Amino acid sequence: MDHFLYQGGALHAEDVPVAEIAAAVGTPFYVYSTATLERHYRLFDEALAGMEHLVCYAMKAASNIAILKTLARLGAGMDVVSGGEYLRARAAGVPGERIVFSGVGKTRDEMRLALEGGIRQFNVESEPEMEALSEVAISLGLRAPITVRVNPDVDAKTHAKIATGKSENKFGIPISRAREVYAHAARLPGLEVIGIDVHIGSQLTDLEPFRLAYQKLADLTHVLRRDGHDIRRLDLGGGLGIPYTSGNEAPPLPSQYGAMIREVLGDLDCEIEIEPGRLIAGNAGLMVSEIIYVKSGEGRDFLILDGAMNDLIRPAMYDAWHDIIPVVQPEPGAEQRPYDIVGPVCESGDTFARQRMMPQLSPGDLVAFRSAGAYGAVMASEYNTRPLIPEVLVNGQEFAIIRARPTFDEILNRDTIPEWL
Ligand code: LLP
């Protein structure tokens, strides 16, 4: 459920007409709903009620500081994957003890930044990384709390580019080597081993792969405890999928996910962490774009938008489906016709949808891409020197620009000309 509904024939973000935001900030833009973000965070928090837990929002999904602050004030922790994300989390007021640091390629500079600033734990992904982290921690007179990310070799049954839990993926250490790797970690004086981490992929629409992975984690907890490690925290990663179509797609609910976690891991006396990104932000955001031209091709009609693949890359990159709806509600029973919906970038890949059934639309009409809150703005680029599009946050009847569209001067002034030119 989200808070983007038609009211009186006009699409609203909570209580604000989307067309009013478009008039104020220009198109294209992203708009997020505070109520939806809050609701999704609370669903996870409540799903784990009764177990010691922390919901660490995977901020790679949408990392505007205003979004982070919205979640942080409810008590959310953050899952960060770079020094930049760590600094954003801190700028949003998240204390170090609520930040976990994930990622396969943390640099020593990033480790230092997080150790000096305060960190809940590092989710370490390899032995070379363990050694580097131990050295950095010792140089600062500290011990770094760690979990090791194990790769449980389960098939997440999701898109190949976002599956991470099979042995051929670059992530984590093979679960078959876990005992050796934990023994190695325990010998490193700059580390404090506190738990185990797993993340098997993103946009999972079935609980079974999670259950298989978590069962392996439960077994491993017993084995590692017998080996003398104080396993007291389990980080279960993110990955719970969302419905991208208004049809009958129904991924498991956070409450069902939570019940499964309780069933599989509830009696281990471990603190549970989860790292949801998409489910918190995905359906909390729209991308809104204006139709520039309607072009009749041979046998097909194109809606040419002012938004493009550089603004929302998911369709080009993952063949992802986003529902695209008119901002003015079509009359009930209005005739629909197929359009190819494309952006202005000079690549055929700049296609959002092919032969999508839409009501009759004209230049100047606005359309909204649903489920664009996660992996939308954060994956945007300035390809074709198209400015990064603004982000807007709605809260009830209010809205605010939370990242302004840069001016062309700002963009051009970032380039510097060498002396010899
Ligand atoms: N934790 C770790 C270690 C991750 O790598 C990820 C996502 C998450 C948590 C959050 O997963 P989520 O709950 O959002 O599924 N750009 C792609 C998705 C990439 C996901 C990368 N890792 C997309 O647009 O579908």
Model pLDDT for residues 94-138, shown as the tens digit of each residue: 999 999 999 999 999 999 999 999 999 999 999 999 999 999 999
Which residue, by CA, sits nearest to atom 9 of ligand 1? Answer: 238
Amino acid identity, position 67: I
Mutate to test the pocket of ligand 1, among 202, 274, 322 (most ligand atoms within 8 A of CB): 202
What residue owns the CA closest to ligand 1's atom 23? 375
Residue spans of beta strands (DSSP E) within 15-125: 16-17, 29-33, 53-58, 77-80, 99-101, 121-124
**pLDDT surpasses 80 at 329:** yes
Helices assigned H by DSSP within 248-384 = 254-265, 278-281, 314-318
Average confidence score pLDDT of the chain: 96
Quickly count: other Cβ atoms within 10 Å of residue 230's Cβ.
12
Residue in 51, 142, 139 with CA at minimum distance from that of residue 96: 142
Q: For 186-209, what is the mean pLDDT? A: 97
- How remote is the CA of residue 238 from the centroid of ligand 1, in Å? 7
Is 270 a residue of the active site?
A: no
Over residues 49-80, the pLDDT tens digits come to: 999 999 999 999 999 999 999 999 999 999 99
* pLDDT tier, 157 (very low <50, low <70, confident <90, very high otherwise): confident
Alpha-carbon gap, residue 195 to 72, rounded angstroms: 24
Q: Give pLDDT, residue 2.
A: 83
What's the whole-number mean pLDDT along residues 276-294? Answer: 98
Per-residue pLDDT at 248: 66
- Nearest atom of ligand 1 to the alpha carbon of 281: 14
Instruction: Pull the structure tokens for residue 187.
Output: 């010998």
d(CA 291, CA 301): 13
End-to-end CA distance of the chain: 56
- Please tell me the distance between residue 323's alpha carbon and the centre of ligand 1 in angstroms: 20
For residues 55 and 379, give the distance between their C-alpha atoms in angstroms, rounded to a whole number: 23
For the chain, the farthest-separated pair of C-alpha atoms sits apart, in whole angstroms, at: 70
User: For ligand 1, atom 24, which residue shows the shortest CA distance?
Assistant: 375
Ligand 1 pocket member 276 (CB < 6 A): yes
Those residues with Cβ within 8 angstroms of residue 336's Cβ, 6 or more apart along the chain or in another chain: 357, 358, 359
Closest CA to 200 of 275, 100, 262: 275
Contacts of 382 (CB under 8 A, 6+ apart): 310, 388, 411
In this prediction, residue 1 carries a pLDDT of: 64
Q: What is the Å distance from ligand 1's center to 67 Cα? A: 17
DSSP code, position 98: G
Encode 200-217: b = buried (16+ Cβ within 10 Å), e = exposed.
bbbbbbebebbbbbbebb
Instruction: Give the global pTM.
Output: 0.97
Structure tokens at 119: 């960190």
